[in-house]
Amino acid sequence: MKKFRISVNGKSYDVEVEEIGAQSSAPVYTAPAAKPAQTSTVASAQPETEKKPQPAPKSVSSPAGSTVVAAPMPGTIMSVNVSVGDTVKKGQVLVILEAMKMENEIMAPSDGKVVAVNTSKGATVNTGDALVSLG
């Protein structure tokens, strides 16, 4: 077993680590949470960083009474599968949004007609940005 002293955010912790080899037949032991070291530490003089407020979603003009399909997460638009004037069915894929290296299909929440397409292929969007408006 090896002992290490690590420092996280200005606090020192003593940690014991057990090396487990491929030929070891000993049972695996999960150590309890690390305990703060008994040594004195000097608090850093740096102030805590404040969380920056998230920008408000971009406002997009859409016809009155239309349903706006918004981005559920930030990402990049991989494809737009509809255009203005298209009739769509509930569950039809409108846009493909790539987020965290995964392609997410953004589907129509209800039957309707596309009255506005507010994004394009390759565009970067944030959570809440309008993608398509259905009438």
Query: Domains of the chain: which residue ranges?
Result: 2-36, 67-134
The fold of 67-134 is: OB fold (Dihydrolipoamide Acetyltransferase, E2P) (2.40.50)
Q: 22-67, pLDDT tens digit by residue?
A: 554 545 555 555 555 555 444 444 454 555 444 444 445 566 678 8
| pTM, 2 dp | 0.54
| Positive or negative torsion for Cα 40, 41, 42, 45 | negative
Paired residues of 93 in beta bridges: 107
Q: 98-117, pLDDT tens digit by residue?
A: 998 899 999 999 999 999 99
